[in-house]
Amino acid sequence: MFMGEYRHNVDDKGRLIMPSKYREELGSSFVVTRGLDHCLFGYPLSEWRYLEQKLKALPFTQADARAFTRFFFSGATVVELDKQGRITIPVNLRKFAKLAKECVVIGVSNRVEIWSEEAWEAYYETSEDSFNEIAEKLVELDLNL
């Protein structure tokens, strides 16, 4: 399980250090793709395969299902950890997530998310105020938080 928040810089070549606590579970290679809220999602290969099966089961006759799977899979790439624990993020994904220098890598249960520091701070600030409200709604769904 991935959890925690770490800050690292992406260099001019698009390399980003993955937190050492995530490396074993991610494996030597894993999938990075466009995520929601303009961040990147990173999945261990086993989790990616599971997610792929779920998405393949969506009805391709529904426009929303086609749009989401196109968006999600077209941005996906397998990245490999180098000897320094870095990955190279392709230009198209760096542009999507607006990764210029400072980045935040967070653990979100079955995936990691890679954010530009600016985007993460803005998201965190707006979400922090509604956290209690969101928690109340989730409890109503009986998630036993």
How many Cα atoms are found within 13 Å in the side-chain-facing hemisphere of 44? Answer: 14
CA distance linking residue 72 with residue 143, whole number of Å: 27
What pLDDT score does 42 carry?
Answer: 98
Give residue 110's Cα distance to chain centre. Answer: 10
Please count the structural domains in the chain: 1
Q: pLDDT of 11-47, one tens digit each?
A: 999 999 999 999 999 999 999 999 999 999 999 999 9
What pLDDT score does 129 carry?
Answer: 76
What pLDDT score does 128 carry?
Answer: 78
> Could you list the residue range(s) of the whole structural domain that residue 57 is in?
5-141
Which stretches of the chain drop beneath a pLDDT of 50? Answer: 145
What pLDDT score does 143 carry?
Answer: 56
- Whole-structure pTM value: 0.91
CATH of residue 43: 3.40.1550.20
Number of helices and strands (H, E) in the chain? 5, 8
- State the first-to-last Cα distance of the chain, in angstroms, to the nearest integer: 17
What pLDDT score does 141 carry?
Answer: 64
**2, 107 contact by CB (below 8 A):** yes
